[in-house]
Amino acid sequence: MKKFALLAVFLIAQPLLADSNLPPAYWAYRQLPDAKQEAKAQSLMVELRCLVCQGQSIADSDAELAGDMRDLVRRRIAAGEKPSAIRAWLIQRYGTWISYKPTGEPAAWPLWLAPPGLLLFGAWLIRRRIRLKARN
């Protein structure tokens, strides 16, 4: 009996009001009928960061804002807009943060230079070692 009472309590529990009053946008969970356009939209959506679940792409996220962003991307692709233009539109509003694809901004240059820099440093170390050994 106690168990049933507990179960009943869980069943009537309501989730916290965090969802909006409207159903998901039309293109949030629907693919575009044109497979080529849908592929374009998909490859852009996996490269755009969700503003709510920051770490997921909008293709992965179930946040309502991510759904609205997918709707926006699909509508614009269907209207013939280029993915790069849509990305630029979002970057203009939210900064490079919104795009997973690196934009080559100066702040990221050390990150790009680090791998070849470390390789060169390693090569220099090895060369030194070989020379030291040869001298001995």
Partner 1 sequence: MSRGLRLIPIILFVWLVAGLAWRLIKPADPAIPSQLVERQVPTFDLAPAVRGKPGLSSADLATGEPRLLNIFASWCVPCVGEAPVLAELDAKGVKIDAIVVRDTPEAIAAFLREHGDPYERLGDDPRSNAQMNIGSSGVPETFLIDGRGVIRRQYIGPLTAANIPGLMEQLGQAR
Q: Which residues bind partner 1 (CB under 8 A)?
A: 16-22, 25, 51-52, 54, 64-65, 68-69, 71-72, 90-95, 97-98
User: What is the b/e burial string over 90-123, where b = at least 16 CB atoms within 10 angstroms of the residue's CB?
Assistant: beeeeeeebbeeeeeeeeeeeeeeeeeeeeeeee
Could you tell me the smallest distance in angstroms from the CB atom of residue 2 to partner 1? 33
Could you tell me the smallest distance in angstroms from the CB atom of residue 7 to partner 1? 28
Could you tell me the smallest distance in angstroms from the CB atom of residue 21 to partner 1? 5
Q: How far apart are the first and last CA of the chain?
A: 86
Which lies closer to partner 1 via its Cβ, residue 13 or residue 18? 18
The SS3 of residue 59 is coil
Which lies closer to partner 1 via its Cβ, residue 28 or residue 40? 28
The number of CA neighbours under 13 Å toward the Cβ of 40 is 21
Could you tell me the smallest distance in angstroms from the CB atom of residue 114 to partner 1? 13
Total residues belonging to the chain: 136
Which lies closer to partner 1 via its Cβ, residue 23 or residue 102? 23
